[in-house]
Each structure stands twice: as C-alpha cells, then as structure tokens.
Structure 1
Amino acid sequence: MDITSEAAEADRQSEVQNSADVKKDGGAIVYDTVTVDLKKGNLLEIDATKDITAAEHELGFWDAVKQYPQAVFWALFFCIAVIMAGFDAQIITSFYALPSFQSHYGSLYEGEYIITAPWQTALGMGNPIGQIVGALAAGWPLELFGRKKTLAACCVWSICFVFVQFFSTSLGMLCAGEILGGLAYGFYVVIGPVYASEVCPLALRGVLTASTNLAFVIGQFVAQGVAAGMSKRTDTLAYKLPFALQWVWPAILLAGLLFAPESPYWLVRQGRKSDAKASLTQLTSSKHRPDLDAVLLMIEQTDLLEQELEATTTYMDCFKGANLKRTEISVMVYLIQVIGGNPMIGYANFFFIQAGLNTNDAFNMGVGNTALGFVGTCLSWPLMSYIGRRSIYLTGMVFMTSFLFIIAFLDFGRSHSGVVWAQASLMDIWTFTYQSTVGPICFVIISEISATRLRGKTIAIATAVQAFASIIFTIAMPYMLGSDQANWRGKAGFLFGGISFVCFIWCWLRIPESKGRTFEELDILFERKIPSREFKKHNLLETSVDV
C-alpha cells in the first residue's frame, strides 16, 4: 500500500511503533499488511535493549548457572543426540582393526584378514553422506516443527536403522544401514548447538555450545572403550553389541523430550510470545529468576532487527550481504576440523597398528586418545570464560600445525621402537590440543556468528561442507595409510600440516572475536562491516553510527 503524504507516513510509522516496540530507523519493516520504509540510522545501534544488554555483559558464569539451571540441563540433554554421531563414526573405523570383524567381513592379505581399502571407504562414507543430506534437510523441519519434534522424529528414525546395522549379513547391508542411519546424525549435529545457543544467557553460551564437541568426544570415547573391550572376542557379538548400544541414546532422548522446553527464539518467530515466556520460565530458577520480560524483549528485538535486515530466511539468504561473511566463517571453522588433521584421529587405532604397535597397545592408545580429548574439552570451558574465542582458536592452530610436521618428520626414523611410541604419543598430544581449542571453539563460533533467524540453515551448510570433506578423506585415508596401498603412515602429517598452516593464515585474517557479545550486538557489528580483527575493540553501548 503506497503512502502518498507525509502525514500518512507519520501515522503509519506511529502505528508500527506503538503496536510493536521496535526501532523506527533503517530498512523496511512489514507489519501486518502495511509496509513502511524506514530511513537509515538507529537500526545499527543498541537502543531499546541497552539495559538488558548491559546486564548480560555483567552477568557472571556462576550467577548465570543459578539463574538458568534448567537451561544448562536441557542444553546438555540435547547433546546426547550428538553422542550418537560421535559413537557411530568412531566405532565403524575401530572395527577395521577388530579381529572378529576382520575375520567375518575381511579378505586375506599376506596371511592376515584385512578390510580392504574400497570397503573401508564405503563403510566410512555412510556417516558423512548421511550428515550431508540430513544437515541440509534439517533447516525446513526445524523452522516448521521446532527443535523438540524434529529431534523426536530423528530418534525414531535412528532406532529403526540400528536394526539394519545389527542384523546385517554383508558389508553391503551394513553400508546401507550406515548411510540411512547417518541421515539422523546430520540432524543431530545441527540441533545440538542451535538449541544450546537459544536457551542460555550470554555467560553460559560458550560452555554450553562447546558441549557439542564434548558430546562428540564422549561418543568417540565410549566407542573406543567398547571396541577395546570387544577386541579379544572372536564371535559376531564383538561388533553386534556395539551396534546395540545405539538403541540406548534415542530411548533416553524420547523419554526426556516429553518434558523439555522449546526454544524461546523459535517460539517468538512463530508469533507465540506467551509460549516463549513460559519456556523461559521453565528454563530459569524460581529463586534467582531474571526479568523475563526484559529477556523476552531482547529476543524480540533481535528477531525484529534481523527481519529488517533480511525479510526472508532461505538458504540463499545465508549468502547475501553480511550473512555471506557469517556463513564463510561458520563453514571454514567447521571445515578445518576435517582438513586440519582430524581424520588421523578417526583412524587412531588403524594408525597405531600401521605405526608398528600390536593390537592391544593400539586399542589402549586409542582409548587414551579419546580420554585426553574429553579432558581437553573440559579444559576449554574455563579457557573460553577468560580468553577470547579468536585467541584460543589461533593458539590451537599454531600448536596443531607444529605437531603434525613433527609426526611426519619422525616417520623417517620409524625403524626405532622409541620413534614409533613418540609418534603415537604426539598423536595423543595433538588430540588434547585440538579438543581443548579448535574442536570445542568451532561449535561456539558457529552458534554465535550465525544470525538467529538463519542459524539452523547456516549450521546445516557448515555441517554439509565438512561432511563432504569427510567423504573425500574417507576415500583417501585408507589408500594413504593402508599397508597394501601408499603406506604413508606418519608422513600423512606433511599433508595435513601444510593444509593446517594455510588455514591458520585464514583464521588470523577472518575470525572475529564474539566473546561477550549478545546476538543483537553481533548482528550490528557485521552490518557495520567491522573488520574481524577489530570486533573486540567496539563498545556498542557507547558508540553510535554517523548518520
């Protein structure tokens, strides 16, 4: 509807302001059927939410825990789904070194049963292929049905396709079960960080989104422990029982989801303000409850700001304007998990055996490897409370790159047993460094950097890209490490070390500091096109935009 007079325009603007407590300036906003053109100005300033934004900055970690104890619980509860993704990806690669699995499904090579490189590739691709399809498909149901119902449907899906894995009679059938089951894993790794970032206050956001990485590590640790426990069994239960464990996680989730609160950000986008407030009530403590009206206002203002900046929420919107950089950052920090050396962790047991360790030592080292990952992830929590995301990520990249090159150079002297153990120990140290820096901080960054209205889709794109890279290395790793193929062993560190060095340069140039920023502040910083290395310097509560 066109506005032809200044008086009519003033009336329309007054109507919008009075009906919905929003800022008048900047872009265009749609309210019911009326479109009002707003001039540039205070859109990129903290205005109506200045008090609650200041309160968020001042809220300490333990005070936030007291105010939001249920949010902590439910964010961690949703991460159980990610444990399944970590468990499945680790257990299938552990089977390559499991004598029972080798003898049942393997082929003879120089007097020993091995899982050939093509079949290692096929089985290993099930999880990442499923993640690509599942992640990209997650955006639509997450916005249409919400986080709870989408996760519940995925749990039912997982229960069904674990049956295919458990009762498989051939590698082909097992491969099909991996791919179909992997579809749910793509949903899980999107839902976990999205939900955690939307139910907790600023002070808890880093720790709870980083818990996604901890869930991966727990899944890997359980898988390594189970594989080590089954390594001496010679019957089919040696690999069937680990598959059966995958029925436990979705059963727990389905029982708990009956009582879980929905994301207040999603409820606000659905126009369900009263339900959003009820969700916030369920997420907070009755004794130390914050001002829920103020918190709800901040959620509404963030959503209204993003509506003004971008009217739609499609995948294409992730590549428009300021969202393009936000998507680039999310994709790259997740992609670095794969191209920066992580495939060598996934093949830990196989790598240790190829490096010269016997089966028992290899499985014990594998368990130790994931245990160090668990400790490292927990260490990242206090680190991110005092040190910025950018600083932790860059420091991790420096040490990880150095360790990879050392592992590679040591391989030239692998004829000495001490060198073999040094390589294996450095693998564990690399894992500890990764899991205390790059691993968990990745999930914090993608959960903070992405716009709230596009978060599900942005994380889905990042997940799909890293899963695609996982497919490439899933194909390549057996040929790189296999004794019947290139037999690179530790020299694979030259490849990953070189890639990691290039990634470090990108990180230094492009990763911004998001510690201590509300989602509204991050929206404004990106729209102002502040250089990544200068994010930390800007105080939006004191600075203003020149009109």
Structure 2
Amino acid sequence: MEDPDNKPLATDTFVAPSSTRDDGPSKADVLVIGETRNITLAEHETSFWAAVHQWPTAVFWSFFFCIAVVMAGFDAQIITSFFALPAFQQKFGHLYKGSYILSAEWQMALNMGNPIGQVLGALACGWPLEKLGRRLTLALCCVWSICFVFVQFFANSIGMLCAGEILGGLAYGFYVVIAPTYASEICPLALRGVLTASVNLAFVIGQFIAQGVAAGLESRLDDWAWKAPFAIQWVWPVVLLAGLLFAPESPYWLVRKNRREDAHKALVRLSSKKNRPDIEGMLVMIEQTDLLEREIEATTTYWDCFKRANLFRTEISIMVYLIQVIGGNPLIAYATLFFEMAGLDSAQSFNMGVGNTALGFVGTCLSWPLMLHFGRRTIYSSGMVLMTIILFIIGFLDIGRNNTSVVWAQASLMDIWTFIYQTTVGPICFVIISEISATRLRGRTIAISTAVQAGANIVFTVVLPYMINSDQGDWRGKTGFLFGGISLFCYVWCFYRLPESKGRTFEELDILFERKVPPRKFKDYDLLEIEDARA
C-alpha cells in the first residue's frame, strides 16, 4: 500500500536482518507495527498549511524554545564584534601602527569561552534532558544564564570576561541541544523540516541583533559601548522563564517515562481545537516508534549512539554539524573584522556586518519553501558546491590585489556566501540531525554532534586570529583557499554518505537504518518491496 504520491509507508511487519544478530533470533527479529499504517498514511497526505492549522500551538512553542538559541547566536557574534569596536579596543587592546587593536592571544581567549562552554554543556545535558525533561532543563539553564551575565557585565579585566564567557557558555551548550530536540518531538511530519530549521534562524537573529547593537554603539567611547550588549542578554532568559510555566512537555519524553495520559494531554494542547488531528493515532505512533527502538536497543546511553545502526546515524549527525564549522562558518562570526582587515573603515565594516547577517535571515526564511519542494540531501549538497566555488574565488581575488574595487568584490562575495550558507547548509543541518537520530537517543546524539562542532570551533578560534590579523599572518581573503579546500572534501562525503530523510516518519527511518539501506537509495527505497517478495 502506498500513498497517492507513491511515497512508501511503514510496513506491517519489520523483520530485522539476521546478519546483524550475533545471538540468534530474538523478540526484536519480528516486530508488528501495523497499528501505525493509517496514521502514517495521514502524515504523508497532510500538507504543510493543513498541518499548521492542525498544530498551531506546536508551531508557537517550537519558535518559543528557539529564543534560547537566539542567546547563543547573540553571545558568539557580539564577542567577535567587540574586536572591531573602538571602545573595547581602547579598553583592552594595545597600540599598533597608530591605532588600537586587540591581540590575537586575547581574541583567541575570549572566543574560546562560547565553544568550550558548548562542548561541556552539550555533553552534560544528556542526563538532565532524560531525567528532568525538556521544560525543566531549559528553565534551570535560564537561571544559570542570568547569574553569569552578571560576571560578563561587571568584568573589569579580560580574564574575568573570559571566565564569564566559559561559564555562560555551558548553558548555550544546553540551548542548542534542547531547541532542535524539542521542535522535532512536538510537530508532525509536514512541519518537522521548517520548525527544526528555525533553530538556524534563531542563530541568525541572535547574530543580527548583535551586529545591529554593535553598529549602533560603534561611535561610543565609554564602557557602555560593550556593557550594554551584555545587559541585553538578561532579557532572553526572563522571557523564557515566564513562558515555560505554560509550555507543554515533549510527548516522546512523556511516553518514555510511561506517562501516557500526560502525553495525550500534551498532544491535545499542541493541536487546534477546531482542526484537531487524530490525537490517539499520533500517540499510538509515538508509542510504536518507542517500542521499535526499545526492541532494537534497550538502553539510552552515550555508548549506544555508537552501536549497530546508530553508529551511522551518529556519523551523519556529527558530519553535517561539523561541516558548518570546517566549511567556513567561522568567517561569519569574523565578518566585521574580516571587512576591516580587508581595507574597509570601521563604520563600513559594521554596516557590512549588519548586511551580512540580514542576508542570513532572508536566506534561512527562503530555506523553508525550498524544503517543501526539495530533499534535505539535495539542498545541503547543492549549497556545498556553490559555497566551495565562492570561497575559491575570494581566495584568488586576494592574490596581488591592490585596489579598493577588489576589496568590495570580496566583501560582496562574502555576503553571497553567507546567503547561500544560511539558505542551505545552515538550516538544513538542524533538520538532518533532528530527523536522522533515533528518538530515544536524539538528545544524546545532538549533544555529541554539538560537542564535536564546538570542539572544531575551538580549533578555528585559535587559528583564525593568527591567520586574519594584520600583525600576524595577514591572510585576508586568502582564508578562502583553506575553507574552500575543506568544503570540497566535505562535498565528497555528502555525495556518498548523506541519506535523504524528507517525507519519512521516525518509524520509517528506524527501519531504513536497521536494514542498512545505502544512503543514496533512501529516497526511492520501497519499504514494501522486501515484504512483498517474502510473501
């Protein structure tokens, strides 16, 4: 049985390949999941706008949880913006050729705070997410953030500021795991792509606000030029704490805690009263997905992310998130300083930085309609090709350049690169990691991916100041060669290892991975074919 669009549905019976068993047949070899056929068919047939009308509250709460990610994007961007802020340079920098600059060592130290905190926070979030749930964990992180913004605001030395960044960054590690996890667990199939991609939009909004604040304060020469941005960071957690009092918990988490009635109530709260979908059917599908994953893997530890089919799922999650960093994303954070080092004056640099993040906002919004028509693999891989070409062009333009027209060309290409990144790789990454990971291991899989990505960010945090700064490597646009070469390698990985997850329920994805379907065949693989052959 197939849907009208010839999209394969979950089979009545899932038979695990005997080759994966070392101890003979077990109860996991045959798992009846026929109860979900009708709701799976309904999931495939529901359009995006129909799903919006059925689940308006889910859309709202998904966006609401993303406010936490706005904080993470704001903090990461505002720190690098400070490096080109005259008041900050005079306060903590030193004179070099008649102007103040912040040393590469202190740039590196300050930039270390956010990613180090994310590594530690991401790895630490697995236990509280499963023990306390999504709501309470996020609430505790908000209290943490409020406390350590005080350290940043009242810092009277770079050392104190670095400490505040690291301690505050622990919460950011939680935020970037909680938001996509929650969004993927409260929405139906038709909304999953857009709502999980909204995590990237939240990052961009945070970056845009940070760039705008920095540009607005660029002319100030007192301490409020850099204290005011820190003060703004008290707003987000207060808003979140107020809203979390009314937010529904993840139905998947409630089912895993054997709280079926609470899960039913959560689904009712997430859906529309006037256009209510089949709540009982959705609950059965959640239960059956959890049952299937329990049969395949009984425990939910970090080690389970690297066992059996979950190893490949973890590889995919790690790589698509890691590519964000090694493929050139650090240049976005350094946009303002990059423009300044390329030859633009301070005012022009900040204006270009604001424009850069504005393009990112538009690009992320554009990714939503793209996902309704094209697959995740297609969008992600196409973005990698275009980004790689642009990075090499930026690098070649820098060879022997000696006029301002080339500077503006490089700056414009950087904006185009950002637009493409935020339309493809940036948002689609969060969709993929939210879909590919098993529901029982989703928090831990995303946590591992976040930690690896943040670890790579630490490496580039160390390297980039020495590459870009005028008193160090002075690479300027030649950084395009480094990231372009890495991007080319990453595209090859995408071609061979990145599967298509569009239009598949979590239950279907579990079966596809357990059957070890080749990544390039995910899109067209008919789940009924093997069963029909056996019949």
- Global fold match (TM > 0.5): yes
Pairing partner for 2:168 from 181, 184, 187: 181
Pairing partner for 1:55 from 33, 42, 62: 42
**Alignment partner of 1:237 is 2:224:** yes
Q: Give the alignment of 1:140-539 within 5 angstroms.
A: 140-539=127-526
Structure 1 residue 47, shift from structure 2 partner: 2.2
2-structure distance, mates of 1:115, 1:461: 33
Which residue of the partner structure matches residue 38 of structure 1? 27
2-structure distance, mates of 1:59, 1:304: 25
Any conservation in 1 of the 2:14–2:511 contact (CA below 8 Å)?
no
2-structure distance, mates of 1:230, 1:295: 50
Any conservation in 1 of the 2:385–2:491 contact (CA below 8 Å)?
yes
Pairing partner for 1:109 from 71, 74, 96: 96
3-state SS in 2 of match to 1:49 = helix
2-structure distance, mates of 1:254, 1:288: 29
2-structure distance, mates of 1:282, 1:343: 40
Give the letter for the 1:312 counterpart: T
1-structure distance, mates of 2:84, 2:477: 18
Give the letter for the 2:514 counterpart: E
Any conservation in 2 of the 1:390–1:512 contact (CA below 8 Å)?
yes
3-state SS in 1 of match to 2:89 = helix
Give the letter for the 1:351 counterpart: F
Which residue of the partner structure matches residue 6 of structure 1? none
Range that drifts further, 123-132 or 534-543:
534-543
Structure 1 residue 349, shift from structure 2 partner: 0.5
Structure 1 residue 473, shift from structure 2 partner: 0.1
2-structure distance, mates of 1:219, 1:90: 8
CA spacing shift, 1:187–1:545, aligned 2, 3 Å: farther
**Alignment partner of 1:118 is 2:100:** no
Range that drifts further, 102-111 or 370-379:
102-111
Structure 1 residue 355, shift from structure 2 partner: 0.3
Any conservation in 2 of the 1:194–1:455 contact (CA below 8 Å)?
yes
User: Any runs of at least 4 consecutive aligned residues in structure 1 with deviations exceeding 4 A, and if so which?
Assistant: 22-28
Structure 1 residue 26, shift from structure 2 partner: 5.9
Structure 1 residue 502, shift from structure 2 partner: 0.2
Greater C-alpha Rg? 1
**Alignment partner of 1:80 is 2:80:** no
Structure-1-length-normalised TM-score: 0.93
Structure 1 residue 110, shift from structure 2 partner: 1.8
2-structure distance, mates of 1:434, 1:97: 24
Pairing partner for 1:96 from 83, 98, 102: 83
3-state SS in 2 of match to 1:108 = strand
Any conservation in 1 of the 2:359–2:419 contact (CA below 8 Å)?
yes
> Aligned-residue CA RMSD in angstroms?
1.5
Q: Among the aligned pairs, what percent are the same residue?
A: 71
Any conservation in 1 of the 2:27–2:295 contact (CA below 8 Å)?
no
Give the letter for the 1:432 counterpart: F
CA spacing shift, 1:276–1:383, aligned 2, 3 Å: same
1-structure distance, mates of 2:487, 2:407: 23
Structure 1 residue 48, shift from structure 2 partner: 2.1
Structure-2-length-normalised TM-score: 0.95
Structure 1 residue 539, shift from structure 2 partner: 3.0
Any conservation in 2 of the 1:25–1:38 contact (CA below 8 Å)?
no
Any conservation in 1 of the 2:434–2:442 contact (CA below 8 Å)?
yes
Structure 1 residue 541, shift from structure 2 partner: 5.3
Q: Which runs of 5+ in 2 are unaligned?
A: 1-11, 19-24
Give the letter for the 1:226 counterpart: V
2-structure distance, mates of 1:251, 1:212: 19
Structure 1 residue 24, shift from structure 2 partner: 9.5
Structure 1 residue 294, shift from structure 2 partner: 0.4
Tell me how many residue pairs correspond in the alignment.
517
2-structure distance, mates of 1:540, 1:255: 45
2-structure distance, mates of 1:187, 1:27: 36
Give the letter for the 1:38 counterpart: K
3-state SS in 1 of match to 2:522 = helix
Structure 1 residue 109, shift from structure 2 partner: 1.6
2-structure distance, mates of 1:278, 1:126: 40
2-structure distance, mates of 1:305, 1:77: 31
3-state SS in 2 of match to 1:407 = helix
3-state SS in 2 of match to 1:180 = helix
